[in-house]
Amino acid sequence: MKKALAVGFVVLGSMLALPAQAQISAEEIDSLAAETQAQVVEWRRWFHQNPELSNREVETGKRIAEILRDLGYEPQTGIAGNGVVAVLEGGLPGPLIAIRADIDGLPVTEETGLPFASTRTTEFNGQETGVMHACGHDTHMAMALGAAKVLRELQGRLAGSVMFIFQPAEEGPPAGEEGGASLMLDEGIWDEVTPEAVFAIHVGIGQPGGQIAVRPGPMMAAADRWEMTVRGKQTHGARPWDGVDPIVVASQIVLGFQTIASRQVDVTKAPSIISVGRIQGGIRNNVIPDSVELEGTIRSFDPEMRAEIKTRMEKTARLVAESGGAEVDIQIDDGTPPLINNPDLVARMMPTLQRVSAGGKVNTLNPQTVAEDFSEFSNVTPGMMMFLGNAEPGADPTGLPANHSPLFDVYEPNMEVGVRAFVSLVVDYLEQE
């Protein structure tokens, strides 16, 4: 449901406007990014030391708004919970484009030993846990704020506007709550003006230090959760014909699901995965139970295939259950859509990425079967998410702790690449209009 909020943006006027002439050079962007780097590191360390879980990013949101105000912005706060949005209006007319950073941490107890390591704890799902920016969202915020600082200095010569989106709950809201990118859209951040393009950076995923990687087209999967109950008829384990065995029926359905991905959808078009994460039923060796519960996840990259898999799962579950005399309830949620990088946008921005990426090299990568709700934004307008290597340049990135590990860390000088990337993407995109 839409809130009638329609985020009435206070757009920063161009009171700093310089005479609108000289184009913004790459050298100028690089030197401004270099000047901002120490500040970016300081911001990152604050966020790192003060992580908050999804939909609980109260202090994080406040800190972001405070920094933006110090930079001369007039941020809108409290969007989709603790989200923050700010718009910079350039001195010259032109389109609106957007930069998105996610702001939430994870229920992970940090083990990096960094001097600014998180010591926070909280309760999550009834358990006491540490809280950590184990996915690198601390660096995403710091880089986006670094870009906000640099672009503010270039404001008078920008031919268009930039929206900065600080999005809560990327890792998913707690059970029973709404949140994340879709809620920001529902609350109307793009109702007045939809940006022409939206950009985001994610650190990690085994890329060499300071290098950018991007995949045109489907890059990250749709993630849809499903759950199912198979109902049979309880009986003695020695006399199964007196009842209906839901364990055997559930097993047949599990195997049937595996033939959807391997036999029934076009494997040459896009990969897909159906996983069962939980199967539960019964209480002792010689009692056939009344019912079995299952849940799992579906990963897919193609919107049509995603819909087809759901239809086929429902049919498989229903018909297999019927053949065994059992009944089945299956519920497949609409989760995060696949993240599809707009191929034209990627091609258009490739020279920019090559200029800023370490060693002038932009890598490609295989589709990632994890999901990212940046896809909600890139479903509405052309979007591009890039990965940025978190390793020290020259180090083997494949041996490093992965995102979500208690040892995950980012080599901080790489954030300068991220700031240069954001600023250069904005400047180059607007100048090409």
By CB under 5 A, residue 219 contacts Zn ion: no
Stretch that binds Zn ion, among 129-137, 239-247, 273-281, 376-384 (CB under 5 A): 129-137
Place of tokens 């990135």: 397
How far is residue 385's CA from residue 375's CA, in Å, rounded to a whole number? 9
Spell out a b/e string for 19-46, using b for 16 or more CB atoms within 10 Å of the CB, else e: eeeeebeeebbbebbeebbeebbebbbb
Residues 157-216 that bind Zn ion (CB under 5 A): none
DSSP 161-182: EEEEEEES-TT-PPTT---SHH
CB 148 to Zn ion: min, Å: 20
CB 411 to Zn ion: min, Å: 17
Q: What's the one-letter identity of residue 366? A: N
Residue with smaller CB distance to Zn ion, 125 or 268: 125
Out of 135, 198, 214, 385, point to the residue binding Zn ion (CB under 5 A).
Answer: 135
Residue with smaller CB distance to Zn ion, 135 or 181: 135
CB 49 to Zn ion: min, Å: 18
Residue with smaller CB distance to Zn ion, 90 or 180: 180
By CB under 5 A, residue 346 contacts Zn ion: no
**CB-CB neighbours of 286 under 10 Å:** 8
CB 150 to Zn ion: min, Å: 23
Contacts of 289 (CB under 8 A, 6+ apart): 232, 234, 246, 247, 281, 282, 283
Q: Of all residues in this chain, which one has the CB nearest to Zn ion in the complex?
A: 135
CB 404 to Zn ion: min, Å: 6
Residue with smaller CB distance to Zn ion, 219 or 254: 219
Stretch that binds Zn ion, among 128-136, 303-311, 330-338, 359-367 (CB under 5 A): 128-136
Contacts of 351 (CB under 8 A, 6+ apart): 428
Residue with smaller CB distance to Zn ion, 221 or 309: 221
Q: How far is CA 284 from CA 230, 287, 360, in A?
A: 18, 6, 62
How far is residue 174's CA from residue 180's CA, in Å, rounded to a whole number? 11
Structure tokens at 348: 């258009």
Residue with smaller CB distance to Zn ion, 320 or 385: 385
By CB under 5 A, residue 222 contacts Zn ion: no
CB 410 to Zn ion: min, Å: 12
Sign of CA dihedral 45, 46, 52, 57: negative
Residue with smaller CB distance to Zn ion, 211 or 390: 390
How far out from the chain centre does Cα 155 lie? 28
Stretch that binds Zn ion, among 59-67, 127-135, 279-287, 360-368 (CB under 5 A): 127-135
How far is residue 293's CA from residue 388's CA, in Å, rounded to a whole number? 40
CB 171 to Zn ion: min, Å: 5
Place of tokens 């990096």: 112
How far is residue 332's CA from residue 184's CA, in Å, rounded to a whole number? 24
CB 141 to Zn ion: min, Å: 12
Residue with smaller CB distance to Zn ion, 257 or 387: 387
CB 133 to Zn ion: min, Å: 9
Residue with smaller CB distance to Zn ion, 97 or 135: 135
Structure tokens at 200: 């985001």
Q: What's the one-letter identity of residue 424? A: S
- Compute how many residues bind Zn ion; rule: CB under 5 A: 1
Residues contributing to the site for Zn ion (CB under 5 A): 135
